Structure 1
Amino acid sequence: MPMESGRRQGVVAIECVAGGSRAEEWGPGSSETVQTGDVVEELLIGVGSRGGPASHAAPFKGGRAALQKLLHAAYKRGETSVEVRVRRSASAQGQQRQLVAGGGDSSGELVDAATEARMQACIVPQESVGGGGIGRSRQYVLRSIRDPNYAVGFVDRMESECIAIRGSRSSRVVCALSKAQLQDGYVSYPWEKKMREVLPIPNSSSFLSLLILPMALDRAGSRYNSVEDTLARANAWILSSQASGVPIAFLNVQTEALLTKISGETASSTVNSGSLADLPNLANASLYGFEDYHGVDIGVVKAVRVWYTAAAGEMPVEIILEEGDARLGFAISRTEEGFIYVSSVVENDVERQAPSTRSGLRDLYREAKRASKLLVISRVSGQKVLPWMVSTSGALRCFDTVSLSQKLSLHRHALRPILLHVLMWDGKSDAPARPGHEPCPLPLPLPSPEFPELPRQNSFACVEQRMQTELDPGVMHERDTAGDASFRFHNFSLPNNWV
Structure 2
Amino acid sequence: MPMDRSPYSSSSSESSPFSSTSTTPSKGSTVVLSIECLKGSSKADEWTGDMLQTGDIVEELKIGTMIVSSPFKNGKSGVQRILHSSFKQKETSIRVRVRRGSDEFAELQACIVPGEQFAGKKQYVLRAIDDPNYAVGFVDRTENECLDLQASRTSRMVSALERTPLQDGYVSYPWEKRMREMLSIPNSSSFYSILFLPKASDKVGSHYNDLEDTLARAHAWINASQALGVPIVFMNIQTESLLTKISGDTASSTVNAGSLSDLSNLANTSLYGFEDYHGVDIGVVRAVRLWFSPLAVEIPIEIKIKDTDAKLGFAISRTEEGFIYISTVNESDNNAPSARSGLSNLYKQASQTSRLVVVSRISNQKVLPWMVSPTGAIRCFDTVSLSQKLSLHRHARVPILVHVFLWDRSLNFANVGSIRARAMSTHPPASPAEVHMEPQANENEVQPSMVDEDSDEYERRMSDGADIMLERDTAGEFSFRLHDFGLKDNWV
| 1:372 equivalenced with 2:390 (yes/no) | no
| 1:42 equivalenced with 2:60 (yes/no) | yes
Judging changes above 3 Å, is the alpha-carbon distance between structure 1 residues 203 and 22 closer, same or farther for their aligned structure 2 residues?
closer
Partner of 1:460: none
Partner of 1:480: none
* Structure 2: segments with no counterpart, 5+ residues: 1-24, 416-451, 455-475
Partner of 2:293: 309
Q: Which piece of structure 1 moves more, 386-395 or 137-146? A: 137-146
- Alignment deviations for residues 367-423 of structure 1 (CA, whole Å, 9 cap, x no partner): 323443210001111111111122222222222222212221121111111111101
Give the distance between the partners of 2:414 and 2:134, measured in 1 at CA.
Answer: 69
| 1:404 equivalenced with 2:416 (yes/no) | no
Judging changes above 3 Å, is the alpha-carbon distance between structure 1 residues 57 and 236 closer, same or farther for their aligned structure 2 residues?
same
Where does 1:37-436 land on structure 2 (aligned, <5 Å)?
A: 37-46=55-64, 53-60=65-72, 67=79, 79-89=91-101, 114-123=103-112, 129=118, 136-137=120-121, 141-148=125-132, 150-184=134-168, 189=173, 191-263=175-247, 267-275=248-256, 276=259, 277-350=261-334, 353-427=335-409, 428=411, 430=413
Structure 1 vs Structure 2 CA RMSD: 3.4
Contact preservation (8 Å) 1:126, 1:140 = yes
Judging changes above 3 Å, is the alpha-carbon distance between structure 1 residues 324 and 69 closer, same or farther for their aligned structure 2 residues?
closer
Contact preservation (8 Å) 1:11, 1:157 = yes
Partner of 1:97: none
1:340 to partner: Cα distance? 1.0
Q: Which amino acid aligns with 2:100?
A: R
1:76 to partner: Cα distance? 6.9
Secondary structure of 1:379's counterpart equals strand
Q: State the TM-score, normalizing by the size of structure 1.
A: 0.72
Give the distance between the partners of 2:139 and 2:412, measured in 1 at CA.
Answer: 81
Q: State the TM-score, normalizing by the size of structure 2.
A: 0.72
Partner of 2:488: 495
| Percent of paired sites with the same residue | 57
Judging changes above 3 Å, is the alpha-carbon distance between structure 1 residues 449 and 62 closer, same or farther for their aligned structure 2 residues?
closer
- Alignment deviations for residues 103-125 of structure 1 (CA, whole Å, 9 cap, x no partner): xxxxxxxxx6x322112234557
Task: Give the counterpart of 1:12 among 23, 32, 40.
Answer: 32
Give the distance between the partners of 1:84 and 1:77, measured in 2 at CA.
Answer: 19
Partner of 1:451: 480
Contact preservation (8 Å) 1:242, 1:430 = no
Give the distance between the partners of 1:415 and 1:63, measured in 2 at CA.
Answer: 91
The count of corresponding residues between Structure 1 and Structure 2 is: 407
Give the distance between the partners of 1:390 and 1:270, measured in 2 at CA.
Answer: 21
Contact preservation (8 Å) 1:345, 1:356 = yes
Contact preservation (8 Å) 1:273, 1:288 = yes
Contact preservation (8 Å) 2:113, 2:124 = yes
- Alignment deviations for residues 25-44 of structure 1 (CA, whole Å, 9 cap, x no partner): x7277332333322223333
1:151 to partner: Cα distance? 4.7
If you compute each CA radius of gyration, which structure gives the higher value, 1 or 2? 1
Judging changes above 3 Å, is the alpha-carbon distance between structure 1 residues 241 and 42 closer, same or farther for their aligned structure 2 residues?
same
* Structure 1: segments with no counterpart, 5+ residues: 47-52, 90-111, 131-135, 439-446, 457-492
- Alignment deviations for residues 436-494 of structure 1 (CA, whole Å, 9 cap, x no partner): 999xxxxxxxx9863234338xxxxxxxxxxxxxxxxxxxxxxxxxxxxxxxxxxxx64
Secondary structure of 1:30's counterpart equals coil
Contact preservation (8 Å) 1:431, 1:450 = no
Contact preservation (8 Å) 2:34, 2:146 = no
Secondary structure of 1:31's counterpart equals coil
Secondary structure of 1:203's counterpart equals coil
Contact preservation (8 Å) 2:41, 2:131 = no
Partner of 2:16: none
Judging changes above 3 Å, is the alpha-carbon distance between structure 1 residues 61 and 324 closer, same or farther for their aligned structure 2 residues?
closer
Contact preservation (8 Å) 2:316, 2:383 = yes
Judging changes above 3 Å, is the alpha-carbon distance between structure 1 residues 62 and 295 closer, same or farther for their aligned structure 2 residues?
closer
Secondary structure of 1:258's counterpart equals strand
Secondary structure of 1:32's counterpart equals coil
Q: Which piece of structure 1 moves more, 223-232 or 146-155? A: 146-155
Secondary structure of 1:347's counterpart equals coil
Give the distance between the partners of 1:169 and 1:192, measured in 2 at CA.
Answer: 50
Secondary structure of 1:8's counterpart equals helix
Judging changes above 3 Å, is the alpha-carbon distance between structure 1 residues 392 and 71 closer, same or farther for their aligned structure 2 residues?
closer
